[in-house]
Structure 1
Amino acid sequence: MEDIAAIGAGIRRARKEAGITQETLADLIETSSRTIHAIETGTGNPSLVTVAAAANAVGLHLRATDD
């Protein structure tokens, strides 16, 4: 669960640095602001595709590792 929270926090930080709202990010990736909130807080069960889209939209890239 730490990884999920860290990803969400990173997306939130990048979104705020970009100066966009959760609603704007949601519009950009064609999802709801509720889903963006869930991603950023590590709650709910958003799809990996949606999380990756949110990350990409704010200039982040997810990478899988074998840790």
Structure 2
Amino acid sequence: MFVDMNNFRIRACECSLKEGVNFRLFRRKNGELVLQKEFIETTKYFDDNSKVIKQVWRDIETVNEE
């Protein structure tokens, strides 16, 4: 794999993470069941005032199925 370093640029930005209201149960490949909470990550770039908003899931606790 070849990466052209001339195509990358450093952009000044501000990131924020806000707690969402949604939860989900997620099963890992090893069979473990995990309760996850939604967070909303917002990245604002200063050069063109664009925003990127994405959903991020964080583990809260491992759930025992029994």
Q: TM-score, normalised by structure 2?
A: 0.17
Structure with more helix by fraction: 1
Structure with more strand by fraction: 2
Which of the two has higher C-alpha Rg?
2
